[in-house]
């Protein structure tokens, strides 16, 4: 890609990208840590996650401000315009992931949650896939790789299936294990949250496709 | 599909030995605004002037190819350029009112083209043209004052009134706002959009934002070539050619 005649313009666009990647990496770690904190009943780590969410929100404010300035002062066109618009889109999705991680982190702080081993294994697996998809989608965004974004987008199915299977299994168990009904409800909540992290990763992959190709991606299903 | 009003076929234009336009073919659609953009010296003005044979007046300027307006070859030997230039009017970068009254500035064209049979008819034409250019309210009480006494933006609208007074079909504009402030520019742009209901407008502009704001079609010229021509929205959000993208985003070509 050729550089702009006005190099400070490139600097500003690059700043957007850097900010996105910083926010995105933080959100990815938050998801991993939230699952860990839950499984290890680690309140301290959970509180750190809640604090970190503020940094994500501040990042989004900064991103909005930078984007606003570029739009108002540079009147970006074509691929530059798409860079700014997609950055806002990705930023909003990262911010939502931060909220989801924060919600999950609140659980071990105020609840004693009983997690059977088989469920712990499943949740860990889902957490890894969710954060992995998020990371991969951010990578496609950073590298402007639309082909890879399509693959990441398609990968979300796996997480959906795990979430469905997990929920079904917990639901069946709920009736049998009335004593731990609260824990079961919390586990359903976590599974649903991880599934939604995957949806945000999917949205980011769509933003990559828009950024690179200028097409609004509409999946056929 | 609407039929194009202007068809250019394999147009080449030379200044002496130097070729300024290279084999350009383009169709312009009626009652729309088409913007010509491109770096300085790429041939926008040259090409624009060929559409009403203004280049004929430049020594050593030669053109090959065909330009059809309403299926009529405007370079055919029998074509009279005077009515042609009324039919294809032109507004320039620098407003150039005659050193005459506001009224006479507008009345001049209709008079020489014999469009008014009586002085009351002429008055109607002048009023209509001044209303059409959005200037009427500002000048109706001082029609006898010199046109050169108006502000730059008003002068430009006077020139537009002068152009539409002879009932053109097509209006060519070469950087009509480059000497105007943002308010005067906005007025001209609003006027252009209004005029496009009745006229075909082709505008040369260096302002990407202006091209994006007013036009439905955009043509990008580079070194005498037509690089890309398409819907304005697409040109400014997702151009097909990397040279177009480099130009509109302000990158080195
Ligand atoms: N009267 C002329 N005699 C000789 N060469 C000319 C003449 N007018 C224009 N040219 C040359 O033809 C080429 C195209 O010029 P033209 O004025 O059409 O460009 P343009 O795209 O309108 O540029 P600008 O944006 O600066 O107005 C340039 O190389 C210019 O030097
Ligand atoms: Mg010019």
CATH number at residue A114: 1.20.58.220
Instruction: Say yes or no: CB of residue B205 within 6 Å of ligand 1.
Output: no
Q: Which residue of B has its CA nearest to A215?
A: B238
The DSSP output letter for B56 is G
Q: Which ligand is nearest to the CA of B62?
A: 1
Instruction: Say yes or no: CB of residue B21 within 6 Å of ligand 1.
Output: no
> Which residues does chain B have within 8 Å of residue A85's beta carbon, measured at their own beta carbons?
none
Residue A218 in domain:
no
Domain that holds residue A128: 2-213
Q: Which residues pair with B7 in a beta bridge?
A: B27, B68
pLDDT at B184: 87
pLDDT at A221: 59
Residue A42 in domain:
yes
Mutate to test the interface with B, among A5, A10, A76, A79 (most CBs of B within 10 A): A79
The partner residue sitting opposite A2, judged by closest CB among B237, B239, B252, is: B252
Residue A75 in domain:
yes
Tell me whether residues B237 and A214 touch, CB distance under 8 A: yes
Residue A38 in domain:
yes
Count Cβ–Cβ pairs < 8 Å, chain A vs chain B: 44
Residue A220 in domain:
no
Complex ipTM > 0.90? no
Answer whether B53's CB lies under 8 Å from B85's CB: yes
- The residues of A whose Cβ lies within 8 A of any Cβ of B are 1-6, 9, 75-82, 213-215
Hey, which bits of chain A come out as E strands? none
Q: Which ligand is nearest to the CA of B41?
A: 1
Edge-first strand listing for the sheet containing B61-69: B18-28, B6-15, B61-69, B72-73
Answer whether A79's CB lies under 8 Å from B251's CB: no
Atom of ligand 1 nearest to the CA of B16: 4
Residue A219 in domain:
no
- Distance, CA of A178 to CA of A185 (rounded, Å): 11
Answer whether A137's CB lies under 8 Å from A204's CB: yes
**Token digits of residue A171:** 């639901």
Residue A196 in domain:
yes
Ligand 1 test: best mutation among B41, B57, B202, most atoms within 8 Å of CB?
Answer: B41
Q: How far is the CA of B21 from the centre of ligand 1 (A)?
A: 10
Residue A125 in domain:
yes
- Distance, CA of B7 to CA of B29 (rounded, Å): 9
Instruction: Say yes or no: CB of residue B15 within 6 Å of ligand 1.
Output: yes
- Taking each continuous run of H as one helix and of E as one strand, the counts in chain B are 10, 10
- 253 residues of chain B, pLDDT tens digit each: 789 999 999 999 999 999 999 999 999 999 999 999 999 999 999 999 999 999 999 999 999 999 999 999 999 999 999 999 999 999 999 999 999 999 999 999 999 999 999 999 999 999 999 999 999 999 999 999 999 999 999 999 999 999 999 999 999 999 999 988 899 899 899 999 999 999 999 999 999 999 999 999 999 999 999 999 999 999 999 999 999 999 999 986 5
- 221 residues of chain A, pLDDT tens digit each: 788 988 889 999 999 999 999 999 999 999 999 999 999 999 999 999 999 999 999 999 999 999 999 999 999 999 999 999 999 999 999 999 999 999 999 999 988 888 889 999 999 999 999 999 999 999 999 999 999 999 999 999 999 999 999 999 999 988 887 788 889 999 999 999 999 999 999 999 999 999 999 988 887 75
Tell me whether residues A78 and B253 touch, CB distance under 8 A: no
Q: Which of residues 193-232 of B touch A (CB under 8 A)?
A: 208-209, 212
Instruction: Say yes or no: CB of residue B44 within 6 Å of ligand 1.
Output: yes
Q: Considering its fold, how many domains does chain A have in total? A: 1
Q: How far is the CA of A41 from the centre of ligand 2 (A)?
A: 72
Tell me whether residues B250 and A78 touch, CB distance under 8 A: no
pLDDT at B253: 57
Instruction: Say yes or no: CB of residue B45 within 6 Å of ligand 1.
Output: yes
- Distance, CA of A153 to CA of B135 (rounded, Å): 57
Instruction: Say yes or no: CB of residue B40 within 6 Å of ligand 1.
Output: yes
């Amino acid at each position: 890609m050729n550089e702009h005649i006005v190099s400070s313009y490139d600097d500003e666009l690059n700043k957007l990208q850097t900010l996105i990647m910083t926010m995105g990496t933080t959100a990815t770690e938050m998801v991993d840590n939230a699952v860990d904190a839950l499984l290890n009943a680690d309140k301290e780590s959970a509180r750190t996650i809640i604090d970190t969410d503020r940094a994500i929100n501040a990042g989004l404010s900064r991103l909005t401000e930078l984007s606003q300035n570029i739009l108002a002062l540079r009147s970006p066109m074509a691929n530059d315009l798409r860079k700014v618009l997609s950055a806002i889109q990705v930023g909003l999705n990262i911010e939502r992931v931060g909220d989801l991680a924060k919600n999950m982190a609140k659980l071990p702080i105020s609840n004693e949650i009983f997690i059977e081993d088989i469920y712990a294994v499943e949740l860990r697996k889902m957490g890894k896939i969710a954060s992995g998809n998020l990371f991969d989608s951010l990578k496609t965004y950073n590298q402007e790789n639309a082909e890879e974004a399509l693959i990441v987008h398609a990968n979300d199915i796996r997480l959906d299936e795990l979430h469905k299977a997990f929920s079904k299994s917990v639901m069946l168990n709920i009736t049998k294990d009335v004593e731990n009904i609260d824990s079961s409800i919390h586990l359903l909540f976590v599974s649903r949250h991880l599934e939604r992290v995957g949806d945000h990763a999917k949205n980011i992959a769509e933003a990559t496709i828009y950024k690179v190709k200028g097409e609004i991606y509409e999946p056929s299903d | 599909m609407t039929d194009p009003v202007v068809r250019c076929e394999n147009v080449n234009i030379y200044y002496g030995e130097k070729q300024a336009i290279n084999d350009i073919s383009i169709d312009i659609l009626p009652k729309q605004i088409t913007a010509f953009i491109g770096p300085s010296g790429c041939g926008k003005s040259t090409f624009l002037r060929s559409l009403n044979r203004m280049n004929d007046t430049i020594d050593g300027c030669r053109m090959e190819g065909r330009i059809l307006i309403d299926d009529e070859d405007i370079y055919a030997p029998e074509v009279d350029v005077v009515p042609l230039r009324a039919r294809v009017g032109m507004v320039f970068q620098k407003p150039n009112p005659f050193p005459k009254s506001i009224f006479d500035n507008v009345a001049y064209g209709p008079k020489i083209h014999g469009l008014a049979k009586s002085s009351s008819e002429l008055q109607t034409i002048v009023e209509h043209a001044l209303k059409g250019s959005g200037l009427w309210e500002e000048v109706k009480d001082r029609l006898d004052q010199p046109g050169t006494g108006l502000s730059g933006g008003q002068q430009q609208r006077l020139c537009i009134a002068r152009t539409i007074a002879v009932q053109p079909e097509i209006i060519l504009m070469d950087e009509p706002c480059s000497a105007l402030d943002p308010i005067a520019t906005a007025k001209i742009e609003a006027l252009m959009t209004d005029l496009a209901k009745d006229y075909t407008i082709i505008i040369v502009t260096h302002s990407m934002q202006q091209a994006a704001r007013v036009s439905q079609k955009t043509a990008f010229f580079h070194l005498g070539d037509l690089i890309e021509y398409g819907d304005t929205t697409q040109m400014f959000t997702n151009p097909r050619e990397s040279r177009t993208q480099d130009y509109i985003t302000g990158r080195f070509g």
